[in-house]
Every structure is written in structure tokens, then in C-alpha cells.
Amino acid sequence: MFNTRRRIKELLISDNVNFQTTVMGWVRTFRNNQFIALNDGSTNNNLQVVVELGSLEEATLKRITTGACIKAVGEIIPSLGKGQKVEMKATSIEILGDSDAEKFPLQPKKHSLEFLREIAHLRFRTNTFGAVFRVRHALAFAIHEFFNKKGFVYLHTPIVTASDAEGAGEMFRVTTLPLDGTAPKNDDGSINFKEDFFGRSTNLTVSGQLEGELAAMAFSDIYTFGPTFRAENSNTTRHLAEFWMIEPEMAFYDLEDNMNLAEAFIKHIIKYAMDNNREDLEFLAQRLEEEEKQKPQNERSEMGLMEKLEFVVNNDFERLTYTEAIDILKESNHNKKKKFQYPIEKWGTDLQSEHERYLVEKHFKKPVILTNYPKEIKAFYMRQNDDGTTVAAMDILAPGIGEIVGGSQREERLEKLTQRMEEMHIPTEELDWYLDTRRFGACPHAGFGLGFERIVQFVTGMGNIRDVIPFPRYPKSASF
């Protein structure tokens, strides 16, 4: 059997020595024709493979270059060098894949994140992105673990949809009709989508929430975890055109139940990563600390990465209403001295990231849950409060990035929901299937959405959301 290899991580954490084994991986460096630093992606740490001088042919030695893939067989022995418990004394080396050292873009030196974004197909082989994507995996696993233990049903909602869950209209169209102007037209000159593949206008989904609500009306507790798409022309460090969302929907939940679940959920997945990926997180914490030193003193974070994660896991989130938050922001020195790019002048303002971060980082110095937003700045499906001006919405704000979770108690009253849809010009006939959940056995229910990349960004300390998804999609970029 070819693949009898041991993972490098297993060898490095074990105390076992003086046994024969096989390792395979990619060469990071090769020194003095004798010392190979080998990495297989299971950890950022390399296994030193020692080649006895004169044991390999010259032609083979020349092929052991940075980026080359090799198979090494030998004995695991105690290491005399610093920083490692064990090393391999090689008895044979086989080149599995050559790498032209002069052309290989990842040289043994520090590369900028901007440069690595241009070669996203190779950046997995760096320590930074090795750590980021192992943490991403751990968080994804923890999400399923959390909901599975609570008895939730994992629902796959459609990627191609005819509805716009957010009413925002910033969607990617899905069509098989020709784009050269020959697509069939209606009498008024508009495109006749009856001739299209699905027989109607369709888009890539912006959310699985509406479909999730349908399932919650049968299973009580469900969650989705899948890709969503927004055609926003946003070139920022916080936005992607394609990203992953976790969206639980729960029957028999009110707004407080919703907040309790979301807080427990965030704490669980962060703690899972801290317990299972501490080595990666400590590497990323060190990287962030060095990055912070380059910033002016007043822009540096008050907490290191590990300290910040511990703080979130070990503290209750601060809960307050939107109205209370507006009062705090309006009266803040930051607002009075016009330090906000978007000054807070009156109730009803849609909060920006700078406002959210001020509340979290400067005022409360802990994660915050804001509730009861003005209905005018929130989606049609949120439950209207008795005051007639606010809805039972909640957003969780985290240090460093602002909003990380958005959710609400859903409007279960048919008359109130249809009235709100008419006010917001959302066609009720297109969502008649959704309204059936209010016609037949409606009940109080709630849910929230967590942008997966936002939580990965928070946990890893990466400054740009494009660096926490394997192949980022944003305006003018759809490589690979």
C-alpha cells in the first residue's frame, strides 16, 4: 500500500522514538544538503528530516527544493536541535513532485497578504493560511456539533431561488437565456423568463431563512449552513460577494430565547477552537501582535487575540435596546467631537460599523446585543412591537468587526406580516408559499444569521475577510 504515512503533527506531539515510519509532505527548506524541513499541512511545525551525507545521489539532492513534494522513510529519533523533540533519520528519499525553486512563488521569506491573495491557490502552504484554514475547519465542525447536540435538524436550503429574502434586490441572476440581445421579449420589451430554464426569473440566494422557517414549522428546530451571495459593489475588508451563512430557525422561541441561543452558540464554537487549535491560535496571536506594533498607539487593540477570545467566552454579553445605544452614542465625546465619520444626530439612524465598534470596544468593552430596532431600517419579516415603531430584532456586536449576528423574532401574525410587505412593496403573491406558514398552524418563532467568515475573521484576528475564505469572490475578482 502506497499511503502508509504518519502525519507530522502526530509524530511531533508523541513521545515515541526509535521506530521506523514514513512521512510525506512538501519541502519548506533544505540546508547544507542534509537538513530538510518537511511540512504536510497537519501543523505549522516542520519535521526535520536528516539526510546522511553521501547517502543520496547528486541528481536527487538537486531535486530537493522548496515546494517539492517528497516521501521520506526512516527512523524517528530524539532531536539534538532546539525547538523540536524528535527528527527523522532518513534511510530513503523519494521525489513525488518536483518544484522549480526559481519559479516557485513562495520563497522562504515573509510575503505580504496582498501578494498571497494573488496566488490564493498556493497560499495554503504558508504558516498564516495553514493556521487560518485549520481554525476555519474547527469552527465549521463545532457549529454542527452544537446544533446536533441540541437536537436541531440540518436543512439544505436552495442556492437557486426565485425569492429575495432581504428585499434588498442586490442579487446575482441565474439564467440560460442568451446575453447577445436575442433573448425572448414580452410585448413591453422586458425579458420573457417563461422561456428560461426554470420558467421564471431566478437568482442566487441571499439567505436560506425563509425556507428555513418552513421547516421550523414542522421540525421545531432547524439550522442551515451554506453559501449565500450578494451582488453589492463593496470593495471593503468586511464584504464578500460569496460567503457562508449559518441560519437557525426555532419554533416556540421569542426574542430572549433567540439571544440566549445565539450567545451560547458563539461561546461554544470559539471555545471549541481554543481547546482544539490552540497552537494555531497562538501563532495567529503572535502574528497579530507584530502587526499591531506597526499601527499608531491610539489605533492598537487593547487586548491580544487570546485575551479577546477568553473575554468573549467568559463574560455575559451586554444587552441593551437600540434606543439606549443611540443615547449613549449621541452623548459620547466621540460624537460631540465629530470623530465619527457618520455623526449620530437622531433616533432612527442606521448604525454603522464605527458606531457598533465604539459601543463594544470603548463604552462597554465586551460583546453587545442590541435589540428593538426601528422597523424602518429592518426587514419585513421581523415581529412588530406594540409601540408601533420598533421590531423585535437583535444584533450581536463583537470587538474588531462590529455586527457578527443579526436576528429577530419573526412576525407570526398574518395580517401584520402582509401589511408590512405591502408597505415595503414586497409582492405577497410571489411569497404566498411563505405566508402559508402563518395561515396553517402559526406559532411564535425566531432565528438569526451568522456570517461564517465574520466569525472566522474574529477568531483568527485576520484584518481582511478575503483572507479567511479559500477563494474570495469580490468585485472584479473570480479567479480559480
DSSP assignment string, 65-100: -TT-EEEEEEEEEE--STT-SEEEEEEEEEEEE---
Domain that holds residue 75: 8-106
Residue 195 in any domain: the answer is no
Please state, in angstroms and rounded to a whole number, the distance separating the CA atoms of residues 117 and 472. 9
Q: How confident is the model at residue 165 (pLDDT cuts 50, 70, 90)?
A: low
Check whether residue 406 and residue 440 sit in a common domain: yes
Cell (9 digits) for 299: 489605533
Share of the chain above pLDDT 90, in %: 81
Phi-psi region of 433 (alpha: psi -120 to 50; beta: other; left: phi over 0): alpha
Number of Cβ within a 10 Å radius of residue 127? 17
Check whether residue 150 and residue 49 sit in a common domain: no
Q: pLDDT of 354-367, one tens digit each?
A: 999 999 989 998 89
Please state, in angstroms and rounded to a whole number, the distance separating the CA atoms of residues 150 and 306. 28
Phi then psi dihedrals of residue 127, to 5 deg: -65, -40
The pLDDT of residue 245: 97
Please state, in angstroms and rounded to a whole number, the distance separating the CA atoms of residues 247 and 225. 7
Residue 380 in any domain: the answer is yes
Residue 208 in any domain: the answer is no
The pLDDT of residue 143: 98
Q: pLDDT of 240-270, one tens digit each?
A: 999 999 999 999 999 999 999 999 999 999 9
Q: How confident is the model at residue 167 (pLDDT cuts 50, 70, 90)?
A: low
Number of Cβ within a 10 Å radius of residue 397? 27
pLDDT (average), residues 122-148: 97
Residue 13 in any domain: the answer is yes
Q: pLDDT of 216-247, one tens digit each?
A: 999 999 999 999 999 988 888 878 999 999 99
H-run or E-run covering 420: helix 414-423
Residue 231 in any domain: the answer is yes
Check whether residue 93 and residue 226 sit in a common domain: no
Q: pLDDT of 28-82, one tens digit each?
A: 999 999 999 999 999 999 999 999 998 999 999 999 999 999 999 999 999 987 7
Check whether residue 309 and residue 442 sit in a common domain: yes
Count of domains observed in the chain: 2
Check whether residue 73 and residue 36 sit in a common domain: yes
Check whether residue 328 and residue 405 sit in a common domain: yes
pLDDT (average), residues 151-158: 97
Check whether residue 312 and residue 394 sit in a common domain: yes
Check whether residue 223 and residue 310 sit in a common domain: yes
Mean pLDDT across the chain, nearest whole number? Answer: 93
Check whether residue 354 and residue 417 sit in a common domain: yes
Q: In this structure, what DSSP letter does residue 384 have?
A: B
Check whether residue 280 and residue 388 sit in a common domain: yes
Q: How confident is the model at residue 168 (pLDDT cuts 50, 70, 90)?
A: low
Q: pLDDT of 432-448, one tens digit each?
A: 999 999 999 999 999 99
Check whether residue 414 and residue 451 sit in a common domain: yes
We report the CATH number of the domain holding residue 12 as 2.40.50.140
Check whether residue 79 and residue 142 sit in a common domain: no
Q: Which of 134-148, 299-313, 366-380, 402-416 has the lowest mean pLDDT?
A: 299-313
pLDDT surpassing 60 at residue 457:
yes
Residue 198 in any domain: the answer is no
